[in-house]
Structure 1
């Protein structure tokens, strides 16, 4: 097996991190709960019946992997600034080719910032 270059190792690392993230049911649920419309953390938490802290941690990880983003901010009547998150991913495909995982990410064309 040939030694991988720094770029190849870096690409493998991010692909591996995304594949690991997508293997987690909570992560998938949070990511795809904000696919069709932007939502705030309490809404996601209530819909999925998971703790607010878990949603925050999951969204932080998804943002780090560039799979989710803050779509917009909303100011509440009492002046609080609320983040609304959305998925940057519309579809994820993970395939095995000779035992090597291949990751295919398809952009989310729904509810993009340009459509907001």
Structure 2
């Protein structure tokens, strides 16, 4: 990996958060677009309490980000999340695993942000 790659400080928490089927599905869904916990629950068929726990784990591991708040159709403000992870590389070293994360380029992120503003 090169470019926008960093070695994560706590590889064990990354592996713990990805060791769950729901977390992997949530991470994949948030790669395409930002979503609220409720929308994740509805679209992926995951219980809402589980979604909130997995979001917390993924956020603490640095795999997703709080993007802000969005208005629902009911005019309620809800937190939305997004992942900019493009690739994860795991290397199992003798002492402990190493996890490198490659993020979308700043150019791609800028394009995503512009598109998000246009859609609103």
Give yes or no for TM over 0.5: yes
Structure 2: any 5+ residue segments left out of the alignment?
Answer: 1-8, 114-120
CA shift digits 1:16-48 (9 cap, x unpaired) = 111221222211111111001111112211222
TM-score, length-scaled by structure 2: 0.71
TM-score, normalized by length of structure 1? 0.73
Aligned residues: 104
Task: Provide the rounded CA distance (Å) in 2 between the counterparts of 1:16 and 1:26.
Answer: 18
Name the CA distance, whole Å, in 2 between partners of 1:52 and 1:18: 22
Q: Which residue does 2:5 correspond to in 1?
A: none
* Residues 102 and 77 of structure 1, relative CA distance in 2, 3 Å threshold: closer
Residue 28 of structure 1 is matched in structure 2 by 24
1:50: Cα distance to partner? Answer: 0.8
Whole-angstrom distance in 2 between the partners of 1:111 and 1:40: 22
Structure 1: 5+ residue runs without aligned partners? 1-10
1:115 aligns with 2:112: yes
The answer to which structure, 1 or 2, has the higher relative contact order (CA under 8 A, 6+ apart) is 2
Q: Deviations over 1:53-99 (max 9, x none)?
A: 11111111111222111223212354411122101312212132457
Pick from 42, 52, 68: which aligns with 2:48? 52
Q: Which residue of 1 aligns with 2:82?
A: 86
CA distance 1:82–1:114, shift in 2 (3 Å):
farther
**Aligned partners of 1:87 and 1:108 also within 8 Å:** no
Q: Which structure: larger Rg?
A: 1
